[in-house]
Chains A and B, each alone.
Chain A
Amino acid sequence: MPPVKIRGRAKKGTINRLLKQLFKRYPGRLIFSGICVVFNVIGNLCSSIFVGLVTGIVTRAIETKVNPFDISARIEADAMGGTFHLATNATILLIIMGVMYVIGIIATWGWNRTMALTTHEFLNDFRKAMFNHMEDLPVKYFDTHKKGDIMSLYTNDIDTIRQFISQTIPEFLRTTLSVLFCLALLIVNSIWITLIVVLCTIAMSLNTKVIGGISAKYFIKAQRQVGVVEGNIQESINGLKVIKVFTHEEESIEQFEKINEELRQYQTEANMKGNITMPINGNIGNFMYVLAAVVCCLLLVLPDFKNLTITGFKEMGNSETSLDAFLSMVTTSLMMCRMFTNNVAQLSQHVTFIVMSMAGASRCFDIMDEQAEADDGYVTLVNCNIDEKGNITESDKKTGKYAWKHPHKADETVTYTELKGDIILDQVDFSYDGKKIVLNDVSVYAHPGQQVALVGATGAGKTTITNLINRFYDIKDGKVRYDGININKIKKADLRRSLGIVLQDTNLFTGTVMENIRYGKLDATDEEVYEAAKIANAYDFITRLPEGFNTMLTGDGANLSQGQRQLLSIARAAVADAPVMILDEATSSIDTRTEKLVQEGMDKIMHGRTVFVIAHRLSTVQNSDVILVLDKGNVIEKGNHNSLIEQKGTYYQLYTGAFELE
């Protein structure tokens, strides 16, 4: 098999692609949410500004002895350096403040709800598109990707996209706006304080970077060790019975404790560093707060130390400047300090998360960009009637007989070929990766009703042959013909419908026993299902299950024994009733006696069918019409049991036990 791909970082342009998809589908909702976010930010900022203004008014009111709540009164306030002329009456101010709040709250609700709904609708489509595309991918994709990696697309990776859309996008906008607004207000108020804030922010990000970096280093180490520990757990739990039999408990505990201790050390380091980042940043914030307050104080006390704002130097230290303006400045600045640092901290988290979620999104896009299984086939399988002379006419009713409908482009005629199950592999070469040859010049002729046994060691190419017949993989050179038709010309769906398959890995699906058997033929009646179960000799054990045919199977039929699962998968193939059967014999799950029962059933459905069997049992091999002995992709011997025994070649040695049958 080709090498398994390793998960990597986000591809360039992932974020654009995701945003483009999102905007294309929900332009109105996104713009609406954006506007809501802006109002949300304004609402929150008003809080700080108005608190400052109210403080200023109250101070002035105390000096001028005018009740700040008396609507008819106007307080000659110099708040905000006279910028805000509204600031003349506390009642009016508070009413405006209330209105702004209400708008802010409605806006918050607006974007929270809209984005949540948009996210889930988008993800639903995204998930479905991904799954639908995955179903169309060739088997090769599944052979070259780890199951766990594919699974995590649907869990972890989609989850990061969910967070990205519902949280990160709006929050990123919100925090960016907040930071900008805060900065603007700070500059209006005092450039000195702005400088302090900027310096402290730099200190915080340095701290995050340095300690966070160390933490990340240990975190990676810890993750690696988690892998080691999990591997050990997996191995020892799966092999627990062996451990018990060998009374090896002490040793395995000892070994586990050692690697567990190593994990503890790494995790402690990683968590410790992770835990202290926050308090350090928080307290840099506290120091900043104090520093800002000190600066305010100095501005007041030192006559030569003047406040610098965007409009130039302002003197604070003499009695001419009003106290209320100063107080407004102090309160607002201090609040802005807090807000600024909080938002910067959040912003950095968002950036980290964007990197992470884009890696996830990139992996999802990767699978969507995979080439779907191509199907250029135009020969289809149709119901037909056959008269005594052998003339075939197409029928739209279920006739129980099938034919290949073969339209010829050249002369626009249509020919019909009866479905018989004649399979020919003609000088087939194949390689999975284009380098290592897996099949070399393999020719097999299987006439209708014949049983072909494939025998050989692991990696000899047995499974590959069956992979080619149902076109899980396409051949490199040579031809495969079904009833004389090159299978490349047959529509894949119709080709596969004409092939029954029983694999070693049984792969049942969540659902009832009935549904699992019916998987072979969706419109099968209950009677047909019972009949198939009887053929596969599964009927007896099914009726003994707690709820018979309605017993729910979960987790790949975990509540059944391996042999029972095997019987169900045979029943599933039996109900499909295809003229050609591909069987990958189970190595050891069904015992000889049950195997015999299965063989009897198989004999019944084999009648008139062509069978390819990857054989692990001599009894199966002996009964076959043709035995192919494969070695490293080459057919080294071909014939029936007796003729091969006479040859006294590899098969003979195999049969007499000089080789191992794998």
Chain B
Amino acid sequence: MWKKIKLILSSIREYKKYALITPIFMIIEAGIECCLPFFISKFVDTIILLKKPADMLDGSFNNMGLSVVWLIVLLIGLAAISLFCGIMGGITGAKASVGLAANLRNDYYKKIQSFSFANIDKFSSSSLITRMTTDINNVQQSFQMLIRIVVRVPLMLIFSVIMASVTGGGMVLIFVGLIPLVAIGLALIGKFAIGIFIRVFKRYDKVNESVQENVSGIRVVKAYVREDFEKQKFDAASDSMTLDFVRAEKIIALNNPLMNTMIHLSNILVLSIGSSIIFANSYPTTVIDENGKEVVNIVYNSLSIGQMSALLTYGIQILSSLMFLSMILVMMFMSLESIKRVSEVLEEEPTIVNPDDPIMDVKDGSIDFDKVDFKYFENAEKNTLEDIDFHIKSGQFVGILGSTGSGKTSVVNLISRLYDVTDGDVKVGGIDVRDYDLKTLRDNVSVVLQKNVLFSGTIASNLQWGDKEASEEEMLKALEHAQALEIIKNSPDGLNRVVEQGGANFSGGQKQRLCIARALLKKPKILILDDSTSAVDTKTDKLIRKALKEDLPNMTKIVIAQRISSIEDADQIVVMNDGRIDAIGTHEELIKNNKIYQEVYYTQNKVGGEQ
């Protein structure tokens, strides 16, 4: 855990100076706050002297008056310094904690950008997002608390104890005696309550999860007339959660009374013992010693009325800072979970990194799979791909067909090194993909993913992902190849047509075509379309393939498709089944002798074939 905290804190960088200076300001502020009651007690004592009957006021009156003035100046001065430190501490504390969070977000973001597909698969995207928002926010809050309050509270405690002992009367012993009592009390309350609360929060999450399911699945609930069923489920969950809450609250309800008891107890003790000391000091009583003689009873402690009231203040300060401390400890304890979750991502090692001496040029678009085995997780029992062995010449058009889970996507993901093979090797342009510079490889192997994503901005800004310096003509050309020109033609904004988050303002087919255009702008040697035309109509699909074939003849094209019509004119078709290659051949060959291919073909052309 310590390592994780250190990792998180190492993101502080340029804000370190603020983080270091903040506690200093806070310590000074705390120190002054502890001194104030002491000087005020002096002040009260001086006033008492002033008030002594006038006949006692000899020449010393002037001095006395002077010291009162000095005390006032001192008090105002201290308050001014404390104000300054308080403001400065507030400013630097904000800079440090907000800065830390901002740096953390940057580091986190960079880390995620360095992740390979395998890394990404490990975390769900919603968890990656909450870690970056809620959890980093928690870290920011608790860090600010750490540098502003956590250093301050124990110091308050220590200063108050010191000042109380300086003030005199030996009263500090009362506090020292009460501190462990309070600490034990708070610890017990905390121990019992936290245990229950952790459980309660889990139940709370469950209840909310159930609400969420109902909100998003309301159509299912209503369609199956399960309203009452869901109500019962929810009522039971809510009841049992409430039961636990109540149990925890019963314990928590002891907190305030405990603190009040202790503060009141210390007040009464200080007042009673203090008063008797003061009285005893002013009028020494006599006692009879063992020799029968009357001697003056010596009182070792001295105390004044002003000091007594200062001690009362210290008592409250000591005890309440204890309570503060316990509250803060609980909060810090809670934020540890966030620290754990954020550092989990920061500690994750990217599984795919650039080789040491990378090759910066891809010769051609030929692809070779040599006896490739692949599995997503090291400890997976079964290989996702087994014994994949086939070769594609530069410029060929290759189709891949197979059912869900047969490994089509896994095969193409190895080409641009989105994952690394478990065994065997994949070569592009005759060289193992692991020897290339990653950027070089991926710029030359352009993949249009199954899950198409456009980013908010404009069509142009999305296309520029493929090529930052792409000219308008180049963009139009790419759109034309992808049969996507009509998308901008129908809009007055043309290339500057707005794309909403996730490309929500385009239909599935439009998105797919834009994504193909984006991939084309890279001018890759290899283009991979992973089921990228599923929402595009067959005619347009055909036009896209025609354009690719005629205008970009040298580019190797790999097409994963569900529709046979999308791949039937391919140079070779790879039929996948259960992680293995079932057959390779042309349409004519496969239709003759491959069962899977035939099956798919006849399903899709049962009626269409009559035409």
Interface stretch of the complex, out of A2-10, A14-22, A105-113, A625-633:
A105-113
Given the interface pairs A253-B113, A319-B53, the reply to whether A244 lies near B224 with Cβ below 8 Å is no
Interface presence of A477 (CB below 8 A): no
User: Nearest 10 pairs between A and B by C-beta?
Assistant: A279-B86, A275-B90, A657-B539, A507-B217, A657-B538, A271-B94, A116-B249, A264-B102, A239-B453, A113-B253
Contact A131–B231 (Cβ < 8 Å): yes
Contact B222–A331 (Cβ < 8 Å): no
Q: List 5 additional A-B contacts (Cβ < 8 Å) besides A272-B95, A590-B404.
A: A229-B105, A231-B456, A241-B451, A244-B418, A505-B217
Contact B607–A641 (Cβ < 8 Å): yes
Q: Which residue of A lies closest to B252 (CB)?
A: A116
Chain A residues with Cβ below 8 Å from B501 are 231, 234-235
Interface presence of A151 (CB below 8 A): yes
Interface presence of B531 (CB below 8 A): yes
Chain B residues with Cβ below 8 Å from A97 are 267-268, 271
Can you give 15 A-B contacts (C-beta < 8 A)? A47-B267, A68-B275, A69-B279, A101-B267, A109-B257, A242-B465, A257-B109, A260-B102, A267-B102, A283-B86, A319-B53, A509-B213, A510-B210, A561-B404, A657-B542
Contact A619–B604 (Cβ < 8 Å): yes
Interface stretch of the complex, out of B43-51, B160-168, B469-477:
B43-51
- B residues 248-265 with Cβ under 8 Å of A? 249-250, 252-257, 260-261, 264
Interface presence of B79 (CB below 8 A): yes
Interface stretch of the complex, out of B126-134, B171-179, B545-553, B585-593:
B126-134
Chain A nearest CB, measured from B112 CB (Å):
7
Chain B nearest CB, measured from A145 CB (Å):
9
Q: How far is the CA of A330 from the CA of B246 in the complex (A)?
A: 45
Contact A109–B537 (Cβ < 8 Å): no
Contact B264–A510 (Cβ < 8 Å): no
Interface presence of A354 (CB below 8 A): no
Q: How far is the CA of A147 from the CA of B106 in the complex (A)?
A: 29
Given the interface pairs A279-B90, A507-B213, the reply to whether A142 lies near B538 with Cβ below 8 Å is no
Contact B305–A234 (Cβ < 8 Å): no
Contact A238–B305 (Cβ < 8 Å): no
Q: Which of B148, B242, B538 contacts A121 (CB 8 A)?
A: B242
- A residues 232-291 with Cβ under 8 Å of B? 233-249, 251-253, 256-257, 260-261, 263-264, 267-268, 271-272, 274-276, 278-280, 282-283, 286-287, 289-290
Chain A nearest CB, measured from B224 CB (Å):
6
Interface presence of B227 (CB below 8 A): yes
**How many chain B residues touch A (Cβ–Cβ < 8 Å)?**
160
- B residues 438-481 with Cβ under 8 Å of A? 438-439, 442-443, 446-447, 449, 451-453, 455-456, 465-466, 468
Q: How far is the CA of A345 from the CA of B295 in the complex (A)?
A: 55
Chain B residues with Cβ below 8 Å from A503 are 219-220
Chain A residues with Cβ below 8 Å from B442 are 244-247
Q: Which residue of A lies closest to B120 (CB)?
A: A240
Binary flags per residue of B525-544, CB closer than 8 Å to A gives 1, else 0: 00000010011111111100
Interface stretch of the complex, out of A57-65, A357-365, A420-428, A602-610:
A57-65
Contact B264–A101 (Cβ < 8 Å): yes
Binary flags per residue of A285-319, CB closer than 8 Å to B gives 1, else 0: 01101100110110011000000000000000001
Chain B residues with Cβ below 8 Å from A120 are 242, 245-246, 249
- B residues 366-419 with Cβ under 8 Å of A? 402-405, 416, 418
- B residues 2-60 with Cβ under 8 Å of A? 29, 36, 40, 43-44, 47-48, 50-51, 53-54
Interface presence of A556 (CB below 8 A): yes
Chain B residues with Cβ below 8 Å from A239 are 453, 455
Chain A residues with Cβ below 8 Å from B534 are 587-588
Interface presence of B63 (CB below 8 A): no
Chain B nearest CB, measured from A597 CB (Å):
9
Chain B residues with Cβ below 8 Å from A240 are 112-113, 115, 120, 125
Interface presence of A326 (CB below 8 A): yes
Given the interface pairs A108-B260, A109-B256, A128-B234, the reply to whether A276 lies near B225 with Cβ below 8 Å is no
Main secondary structure of the interface of A (DSSP, over half): helix
Chain B nearest CB, measured from A34 CB (Å):
17
Interface presence of B579 (CB below 8 A): no
Chain B nearest CB, measured from A45 CB (Å):
12
Chain B nearest CB, measured from A152 CB (Å):
10
Contact A127–B238 (Cβ < 8 Å): yes
Q: How far is the CA of A176 from the CA of B313 in the complex (A)?
A: 23
Contact B283–A62 (Cβ < 8 Å): yes
Q: How far is the CA of A59 from the CA of B206 in the complex (A)?
A: 64
Q: Which of A108, A154, A301, A496 contacts B225 (CB 8 A)?
A: A496
Interface stretch of the complex, out of A24-32, A132-140, A182-190:
A132-140
Q: Which of A128, A242, A257, A592 contacts B235 (CB 8 A)?
A: A128
Interface presence of A472 (CB below 8 A): yes
Contact B268–A59 (Cβ < 8 Å): no
Given the interface pairs A267-B98, A657-B539, the reply to whether A243 lies near B113 with Cβ below 8 Å is yes
Contact A290–B79 (Cβ < 8 Å): yes
Chain B nearest CB, measured from A111 CB (Å):
9
**How many chain A residues touch B (Cβ–Cβ < 8 Å)?**
156
Q: Which residue of B lies closest to A592 (CB)?
A: B562
Interface presence of A529 (CB below 8 A): no
- A residues 616-636 with Cβ under 8 Å of B? 618-619, 622
Chain A nearest CB, measured from B266 CB (Å):
11
Q: Which residue of A lies closest to B46 (CB)?
A: A297
Contact A245–B113 (Cβ < 8 Å): no
Interface presence of B75 (CB below 8 A): yes
Binary flags per residue of A572-596, CB closer than 8 Å to B gives 1, else 0: 1000100000100001101111101
Chain B nearest CB, measured from A66 CB (Å):
9
Interface stretch of the complex, out of B183-191, B426-434, B502-510:
B502-510
Of B86, B207, B438, most buried by chain A (CB within 10 Å of CB) is: B86
Q: Which of B93, B249, B447, B537 contacts A658 (CB 8 A)?
A: B537
Chain A residues with Cβ below 8 Å from B114 are 249
Chain B nearest CB, measured from A261 CB (Å):
7
Chain A residues with Cβ below 8 Å from B599 are 593, 596
Chain B residues with Cβ below 8 Å from A58 are 275, 278-279, 305
- B residues 64-84 with Cβ under 8 Å of A? 65, 68, 72, 75-76, 78-80, 82-83
Q: How far is the CA of A561 from the CA of B406 in the complex (A)?
A: 14
Q: How far is the CA of A470 from the CA of B309 in the complex (A)?
A: 77
Contact B94–A116 (Cβ < 8 Å): no
Of A94, A252, A293, A554, most buried by chain B (CB within 10 Å of CB) is: A293
Contact B276–A112 (Cβ < 8 Å): no
Q: Which residue of B lies closest to A270 (CB)?
A: B94
Interface presence of A444 (CB below 8 A): no
Given the interface pairs A124-B238, A247-B442, A272-B94, the reply to whether A263 lies near B229 with Cβ below 8 Å is no
Interface presence of B124 (CB below 8 A): yes
Q: Which residue of A lies closest to B97 (CB)?
A: A271
Contact B215–A230 (Cβ < 8 Å): no
Q: How far is the CA of A68 from the CA of B280 in the complex (A)?
A: 10
Interface presence of B296 (CB below 8 A): no
Contact B275–A496 (Cβ < 8 Å): no
Given the interface pairs A290-B72, A290-B75, A619-B604, the reply to whether A505 lies near B86 with Cβ below 8 Å is no
Given the interface pairs A108-B257, A124-B238, A279-B87, the reply to whether A290 lies near B223 with Cβ below 8 Å is no
Chain A residues with Cβ below 8 Å from B101 are 264, 267
Interface presence of B291 (CB below 8 A): no
Interface presence of B522 (CB below 8 A): yes
Interface presence of A458 (CB below 8 A): yes
Q: Which residue of B lies closest to A90 (CB)?
A: B275
